[in-house]
Amino acid sequence: MKTSASLWSADLLAMGAAMDRLENVVDGFHIDVMDGHFAPELVFGPDFVRAVRGRTRRLVDVHLMVADADRWIGPFAAAGAGMLTVHPESCEDVAATLARIRVLDVRPAIAVGIDRPLEPVWDLLDAVDRVLLMGTLLGVKGVGIAPAIYERVRAVVRRRDRPVRSSARSERRLQVFVDGGLRRHIVPLLAEAGADGVTPGSLIFDAPDPAAAVRWIAEQ
């Protein structure tokens, strides 16, 4: 399993040190962006992303939980985001938004809330590098993962892996990640369901040895 470490759960007064401890073991750093409207929190802007980009060689994975994603694509791409994840309902035309992200030489991804149906994103799978499935409601910490998440992971994996007759099929393999409600006993179950990765926060940052926690996830 891949790990994109969620920096919202790191020690905000020692962010650089927290990142340095994980630099050689994580696949990326996950940055939540919330505007207090789309999600009930207010965290992280382009300047923070720019600082993280300057600190790491890993993928900087920015999750836009904002009411108007289109407004923020340019600023976060310019700040150094390597991946931009958007929610369809926060885009005027999500297909156009994803295409714009790709044109900016950033990897596009799409997030699906635990309370949202999966079917509307089926036509978008060929346009993204990752589907981020939320395991809890947006902006909520400290709650358990929704039991429905495992079947949702399996559904996206089945859709990704279905036979396609078109010779134009991309060689790129869509990643399926899960965010929210991650606990140690949950990770193996997500791996069994077919998830490619997770975006853990407290699971690693509250561990006695965060790097060892990431290596354990990689073994699942």
- DSSP states of 152-197: HHHHHHHHHHS----TT--SPPPEEEEESS--TTHHHHHHHHT--E
**Which pLDDT score, from 0 to 100, does residue 139 have?**
82
* pLDDT mean over 151-176: 81
**Which pLDDT score, from 0 to 100, does residue 144 have?**
92
207: pLDDT confidence band, cut at 50, 70 and 90? very high
Half-sphere exposure at residue 2, Cβ-oriented, CA atoms within 13 angstroms: 19
Q: Domains of the chain by range and CATH?
A: 2-218 (3.20.20.70)
Q: What is the pLDDT of residues 83-142, one digit of tens each?
A: 999 999 999 999 999 999 999 999 999 999 999 999 999 999 999 999 999 999 988 888
Retrieve residue 55's tokens.
């600190």
* pLDDT mean over 136-164: 92
**Which pLDDT score, from 0 to 100, does residue 168 have?**
45
pLDDT score of 166 more than 90: no
Query: How many CB atoms neighbour CB 78 within 10 A?
Result: 13
**Which pLDDT score, from 0 to 100, does residue 107 have?**
98
**Which pLDDT score, from 0 to 100, does residue 170 have?**
57
Q: What is the pLDDT of residues 52-96, one digit of tens each?
A: 999 999 999 999 999 999 999 999 999 999 999 999 999 999 999
Give the integer Cα–Cα distance in Å for 55 and 9.
18
**Mean per-residue pLDDT of the chain:** 95
* pLDDT mean over 183-196: 98
List, by residue number, the catalytic residues. 32, 179
**Which pLDDT score, from 0 to 100, does residue 167 have?**
43
Cα–Cα–Cα angle for 153, 191, 167, rounded to 5 degrees? 60
